[in-house]
Structure 1
Amino acid sequence: MRKREKFLAGLVLVGAAFLAACSNNSSTSSSNKQVMNTATSNEISTLDSSKYGDTTSSEVLQNSMEGLYRFDKKNQPQLAGASKVTRSKDQKVYTYTLRKDAKWSNGDPVVAQDYVTGWRRTVDPKNSSLDSDSYSIIKNGTKITQGKAPVSSLGIKALGKYKLQVTLANPIPYLPQILEGAQFYPQDTKVGKKLGSKYGTSADNLVYNGPFTVNGWTGSNLKWTLKKNPKYWNKKSVKIKRVNIQVIQTTNTGVNLFRSNSLDYVPLSSDFVKEYEHNKDYHTKVTPTNGYITFNLKRKATGNVHLRRAISLAINRKQLVDTILHAGKPATGQVAADFITDASTKKDYREAAGKMVSYNVKDARAEWKQAQKELGKKKMTLELLTSDIDDSKRVGEFIQSNLMKNLPGLTIRVRSIPLKSRLSNTTQHNYDFVFGTWQPSYEDPLDFLTVGGLFNLQQDYHNANFWKQINLAQTSYATEPTKRLNALIKAEQQLVTKDAFVAPLYQAGASYLLKPQIKGFQLSPYGNVAYYWNVTIK
C-alpha cells in the first residue's frame, strides 16, 4: 500500500508547494529543469516500511522504494524488482527471479535476503506494524502476528542471492496488487543492522531502491525533496529530476500558490471544490478510500452495541457528502462500491452485498433508548477523535451536530490533533470513537474487512461468526467464488450492521488542480497517493 496505506490519513489531502521564500525557484516548473513543486497536508510519520501507518509516509515510500511489483501508467501491477515469476500447480508457491541490476542508493545490490529481512520485520509483533494484518495471505503470517509462531516461519525464503520463494497460506487472485504495497518492500539488510532503531527515522537513515531518493527530511521537519535516483535500475524511464514537497494544512494557501505559479499540483479540500469544479485545471474522481468511524470496545459506553448502532443510524451520510465534502459519495457498507468485481457474479461486490448502513432517526433513537437503559444513564458525554486538518475537523463537527440533534441526552466533544498523535492515541485506546480515512491495498473485500482502517480489530473484536466467515473465505472457499462471496457478505453484515464495530460514512473524492504542462501525473488506483515516476514537464 500502499496500501496500505497505507494507512489512515486525513479526509481529503490538502496540498501546497515550497513557499517562494523557501525555494530557489520563484516560478512554477519548467521543462528544461524538470522540477515539480507540490505538497501534502500531513507530515511524514516514518520512512520505515515496517512501521508507517499514514498516507503521507506511504506516498513518500511508494515513490522512493520498490517491491516485486510496481503500478504502470495504467495503474496495473507489473514486475519491477523481479524480472520473472513462476507459480506452483496448487497456486500457493511463487518463485521470483530478482533483477541483478537492481541497486540500493548506496550501491548495494538488492538481494533476496533483503526481502526476507523486510517482511520478517513487518510481520514481527514487536514492531507493531499497522500493516502486519496484510501478511495473513502469507504462510504462517497470522500465527506470527498473534505471537503463536516464530518470525522465521513466515512463508518467504531466499533460495539464492537473486532467487526468492514466497509461500501463500491459500491461493489468492490479487497477489500482484498487494505485493506492490509498501509493507512488502525489501530492506537493505546491512543498513538495517547498522542503523538499528534509527532505521527510517530520517531521510539519511535509509537507503532507497526506487525511482527517487528522499532528501532533507530530518524526522520532524515539514519539507523534503524527492530526487531522481541515479542507482535505480529503470532510471532512463524517469524524466523528472526533482519534486519539492512541503506540508501546508490550509487549502487557501495552496490554491494561492497554485494561482501565482509557485505550485504545480494542489489537492482541494471540500470547501474549494464548488469554486473550482469548472476550472480548466480541475480534476476529480471518486475513490475507494473510506471515511469512517470506529469505536473503542474497551470503554463501557462505546462497548455497548446499542450505542454504536444508534450513532451509525443517526448520521446523515448524504448530507455529509452534499454539504461538507462536495465530492465522493455516501457509503452503503464497509467495502467500497464500483471497485471490486466479484468472480462469481461478474458484478460489483457492493451490488451483491447490498446496503448495510442507513440514516434512520427513529431506529437510532430506539437503539439509543436501549443503550441508556443498559448503561443506566440518561445523559452521556463522548469524545470523538479526529486529525487536525480542516476537512477532518469539519467532518467531526458535522458528526457532532447530527448526533447531538438526533440523540437527545448525548453530548459529543471533538478532539482534533495532529495525525501522528491521532494514530498513537488510537493504538493506545485513548479515545471513545475515532474518525479517519483509509485507502485499500488490493481489490478484494478481505482488505476492507480485515484491515480497512479497523483499529484494534483482531485485538478487541471477538465475534465468532465474523472470524469464522473470514476464515472460510480465506481457506475452504478460496477457490469457490460463490461460497466465498456469501461468506464475505455474512462477515460484513456481522461487522457493520449487527455489531457496528465500524460505521462507514463515505467514499472520498479526490479533487485537485494540476498545471497543464505536467504530463504523466497519476494517483494510485486505491486513493489519493500521488505517483511521480511517470511525470514529464512539457
Structure 2
Amino acid sequence: MRYKKILAAMLAAAMLAILAAGCGKSGNINGGQVFRYALEAEPATLDPANSTAIPESLVEAQVFEGLTRLDARDQAIPGVAEKWDVSPDGIKYVFYLRPNAKWSNGEPVTAQDFEFAWKRVLNPDIASENAYMLYPLKNGQAYNEKKATADQVGVKALNEHTLEVTLEKPTPYFLSLAAFHAFYPVNRQTVTANAAKWATDVRTLIGNGPFKITAWVHNGKIEFEKNNQYWDAVLVKLPKMEWPISDSQTTRLALFENNQVDMMVEPPAVEHDRLTQAALLKISPYLGTYYYVFNTSKAPFDDPKVRKAFAAAINRDALVKNIVKGGKQPAYAWVAPGLVNPASGRDFREEAGNYAVEDTALAKKLLAEAGYADGQGLPPITLLFNTSEIHKSIAEAIQEMWKKNLGVAVNLTNQEAKVFLASRAQGEFQIARASWVGDYADPMTFMDVFKDPNNDAKYSNPAYNLLVEQAQAGNDQKVRMQAMHDAEKILFDDAVIIPIYYNTLPYLSRPYVKGYFWSALGIADFKTAYIEK
C-alpha cells in the first residue's frame, strides 16, 4: 500500500512537471500581462458545430463571436451584429453586421459566413449534436431530418453585412440563443478546404473573437494571442494567454498553488474548507444540473420500474455534504434554479417544487415488481463516467448506495473525456454521468434536450414532445411556462434521469486577475481581462 502511494505521488509530480514546463518558472508569480488558466480537459474539437463539452465551449468563446454575446448578467448584447430589427410577430429578424468585423486572417466576416455556418450545423451529413439548437429556424428541423433543402432554411444573406433570419414561430429567447457556440460563424473557405481537421489544427483554426490560438499541444497546452483583427480589439488588454490542460483536479490545484496558473475551476472538494479559509475559493452561480442518464433503449433500463428503483435508492444530501461540497444543492428535478418565470415573477424551480423521490423501501418494491427482487437476475450493470477525481468519488458513493439499498453490485468504468463523450452519444452505456449547463436564460434550454431525437437517453415520448413544442410555439409566457412544468413532470414519471445536484462553479483566482466574469451558463469571458499588481 505504501509503495502504491509513493508511486502515485511520483506520477503526479511527473505530470505536474510536464505541465509546468510550459507555464513559467516554478514559484514565480505571474509578472506580466499573460493570463494562465488551467483547462480541465482536452477539447475534442473546436468546431462550433460539433463541440458539446464545457471546456470546448470555454475555448471557443475566446476565439469566436456570434451575432450577439452575453454580458455579465447573461443578457444578449451586440456582437458581430451592431443592431437588428424584429418583426411585430416575432418571426423575422434582420441583423446588420459590423463593417469592421474580421476573421483573424484579416478577411471580412460576412453574412454569408453565418448562413454557411448555420446551415452546416443543420446539415444531416454533419450529424451535429447541436443541430436541435437551430430548430427555431424556419425549416431548420426539416432540413436536419432530410425533409427540406438547405435553400429552404430560414437564414439568408441579403448582402455581405445583412442577414435575414426567419423563424418557425416566435422564440422569445432567440437573441440569447444567437450567442451560443452553435450559432458562431465559421470561415467557409477554410472549413471547406480542410473539412476533417480544420478545428484541431492551429494553422487552419481561424476565428473572429477577441483572441486567436497560436499553439495547441494536444493534451498539453493551448496558447492564445490577442486578435488584432477583432472589431473591438481596443478593449482587449491581454496580449497573451497560456492554458495548460489536465483532467486531474489535483494537478490543476498544484499548478495554481505553485503559481504556474492564475485560475482554475473545480478544486478537489476535500480542499474546499482550507481554500475558503485562505480566501482563495470563489463561488460563481452556474445554471446547470449534474445527473446520471439511463440508456432507455437497453435492458434492463428499458423498463421504467428498474429506472425508478435505481433513481429512488440514492441519498443526495449525503453526496453533497460529504463528497461534492462547493456550495452545490441537492437536485430533485431537471431545470436548475435561477430562471424566472416572466408570467409569475417567481423562480421556475421554486414554483414547481421537486419530482425526484428518495425511498429505499419503494426502490426495493419497484425492483421486485420488475422481476429482480434483491437484484437477483439482473444482467451486469455498468456506470460510465469520464476520468476525474470528483466523478469517481460520486460514482463510488452511489455504487455503495445501490449495493446497500438494492443489493445490486454495479461496475464502474471511466474513460478519457473524448472517448467518453463518443460512447455516451453512441448509446454505448447503461448508466452514464452527464451534466447540462443552460445555453440561454429560459427553461427551454433544459426542456428541449430530451425532445431532441439524438438525446443520450434514447428517450422519446410524444406527450413530452408535444408540451415542449407548445412551449416553443408562442409568446404567451403563462402558457409556455405551464407547458414546461407539465413536460418536466413527464420526464420524471418516465424516470429518464437521476438528477444529483444543481451546479455552482467553485474556482480559484489570483487577486491580480481583473476584468473577467463567469456567466451563469458556465463560460468565462476574458475579453476585457487584465493583470493588475
- Same fold per TM (> 0.5)? yes
Separation in structure 2 between the aligned mates of residue 25 and residue 373 of structure 1, nearest angstrom = 59
Alpha-carbon shift at residue 439 of structure 1 (Å): 1.0
Deviation, structure 1 residue 23 = 3.5
Distance 1:99 1:520, change over 3 A: same
Partner of 1:28: 29
Partner residue of 1:316? Answer: 315
- Which residue number corresponds to residue 12 of structure 1? none
Q: Note if contact 1:264-1:514 (Cα within 8 Å) is conserved in structure 2.
A: yes
Point out the more displaced range, 111-120 or 38-47: 38-47
Find out whether 1:522 has 2:517 as its counterpart: yes
Please give the per-residue CA displacement for 1:341-361, whole angstroms capped at 9, x wherever unaligned. 112111001122221113111
Map 1:38-437; keep pairs closer than 5 Å. Answer: 38-217=37-216, 220-267=218-265, 268-327=267-326, 328-337=328-337, 339-372=338-371, 378-408=377-407, 410-437=408-435
Displacement of 1:125 in angstroms is 2.0
SS at match of 2:116: helix
Work out whether 1:451 is the aligned partner of 2:438.
Answer: no
The answer to whether the 8 A contact 1:39-1:248 is kept is yes
Query: Cα distance, 1:462 vs. partner?
Result: 2.5
The residue aligned with 1:533 is 527
Structure 2 SS opposite 1:158: strand
Deviation of 1:290 after TM superposition, in Å, equals 1.2
Secondary structure of the equivalent of 2:195?
A: helix
Distance 2:170 2:17 in 1: 44
DSSP-derived class of the 2:277 partner: coil
Please name the residue that 1:506 is paired with.
501
The 2-side partners of 1:452 and 1:232 are apart by 37
Q: Which stretch shows the higher mean deviation, 514-523 or 228-237? A: 514-523
Amino acid in the other structure paired with 2:524: A
2:42–2:246 contact (8 Å) kept in structure 1: no
1:196-217 alpha-carbon deviations (Å, 9 max, x no partner): 2222122222211000001212
Is the 1:382–1:413 contact (alpha carbons within 8 Å) kept by the matching residues of 2? Answer: yes
Task: Name the amino acid aligned to 1:336.
Answer: A
How many angstroms apart in 2 are the aligned matches of 1:310 and 1:364?
A: 4
Aligned match of 2:6 = none
Contact 2:457 / 2:496 at 8 angstroms: preserved in 1? no
49-58 or 364-373, which deviates more:
364-373
Report the Cα distance in structure 2 between the residues aligned to 1:115 and 1:353, rounded to whole angstroms.
38
Q: Secondary structure at the match of 1:423?
A: helix
Q: What is the Cα deviation at residue 377 of structure 1?
A: 5.3
> 1:304-341, CA deviations, whole angstroms, 9 ceiling, x for partnerless residues?
1001111111111111111111121011210001x111
User: Aligned-pair distance for 1:18?
Assistant: 8.2
Within 2, Cα distance between the matches of 1:109 and 1:490? 46
What's the CA shift for 1:17? 11
CA distance 1:159–1:431, change in 2 (3 Å): same
For 2:239, give the aligned amino acid. Answer: K
Q: How many residues align?
A: 515
Q: What is the distance in 1 between the residues matched to 2:387 and 2:409?
A: 20
State the shift of 1:45 in Å: 0.6
- 8 Å contact kept, 1:286–1:329: no
CA distance in 1, matches of 2:84, 2:128: 27
2:470 maps to a residue whose letter is L
What amino acid is the match of 1:232? Y
- Contact 2:23/2:36 (CA < 8 Å) preserved in 1? no
> Which secondary structure state, in structure 2, belongs to the residue aligned with residue 451 of structure 1?
helix
Aligned to 2:487: 491
Q: Write the deviation string for residues 104-128 of structure 1: whole angstroms up to 9, x where unpaired.
A: 0111100000001110111112212
Deviations 1:484-523 (A, max 9, x none): 222111111111x210112211112211221111111221
Task: State the shift of 1:455 in Å.
Answer: 8.7
Contact 1:282 / 1:511 at 8 angstroms: preserved in 2?
yes
SS in 2 for 1:52: coil
The secondary structure found in structure 2 opposite 1:114 is: helix
Seen in structure 2, the aligned counterparts of structure 1 residues 95 and 334 have a Cα distance that, compared at 3 Å, is same
Q: Distance in 1 between matches of 2:254 and 2:50?
A: 35
Distance 1:373 1:437 in 2: 29
Mapped partners of 2:250, 2:472: distance in 1: 46
Aligned residue for 2:383, secondary structure, equals strand
Kept in 2, the 8 Å contact 1:238–1:534? The answer is yes
SS at match of 1:209: coil
Distance 1:358 1:459 in 2: 20
How much has 1:74 moved relative to structure 2? 4.3
Other structure's SS at 1:120 match: helix
For each residue in 1:150-180, what CA deviation from the matched residue of structure 2 results, as whole angstroms up to 9, or x when unmatched?
A: 2332210001111001111221221222111
Give, in whole Å, the separation in 2 of the partners of 1:285 and 1:303: 37
**Cα distance change on mapping 1:29 and 1:426 into 2, 3 Å:** same
2:386 and 2:372 map into 1 onto residues whose CA distance is 32
Which range moves more in the overlay, 113-122 or 15-24?
A: 15-24
Q: Distance in 2 between matches of 1:161 and 1:417?
A: 45
C-alpha spacing 1:73/1:444, structure 2 compared with 1 (3 Å) = closer
Q: How far apart are the structure 1 equivalents of 2:457 and 2:398?
A: 26
Tell me the amino acid that sits aligned with residue 399 of structure 2: Q
Give the secondary structure class of the aligned counterpart of 1:196. Answer: coil
CA distance in 2, matches of 1:240, 1:404: 52
> Would you say the 8 A contact 1:294–1:503 is kept in 2?
yes
Structure 1 gaps, min length 5: 1-14
Higher relative contact order (CA 8 A, sep 6+): 1
Specify whether residues 180 and 387 from structure 1 end up closer, same or farther in structure 2 by C-alpha distance, changes over 3 A only: same
1:345–1:16 Cα change, 3 Å: farther
Instruction: Structure 2 unaligned segments of length 5 or more: list them.
Output: 1-14
1: CA distance, partners of 2:301 / 2:289: 21
Aligned-residue identity in percent: 29
- Closer/same/farther in 2, CA of residues 355 and 17 from structure 1, 3 Å limit: farther
**Paired amino acid for 2:331:** A
Instruction: Tell me the CA shift for residue 86 of structure 1.
Output: 0.4
Q: 1:211 to 1:446 in 2, by over 3 A?
A: same
Which residue number in structure 2 is paired with residue 474 of structure 1? 472
What SS does the aligned partner of 1:165 have?
Answer: strand
C-alpha displacement at 1:234, in angstroms?
Answer: 0.5
Work out the CA distance in 1 between the residues paired with 2:387 and 2:123: 31
Separation in 1 of the partners of 2:529 and 2:453?
35
Structure-2 change in CA distance of 1:425 and 1:20 (3 Å): closer
Residue matched to 2:5: none
SS of the aligned residue for 1:232 comes to coil
Deviations along 1:230-271, one digit per CA (max 9) or x if unpaired, are 111100101011110111233333333323322211221322
Name the aligned partner's letter for residue 482 of structure 1.
Answer: K
Structure 1 residue 399, shift from structure 2 partner: 1.6
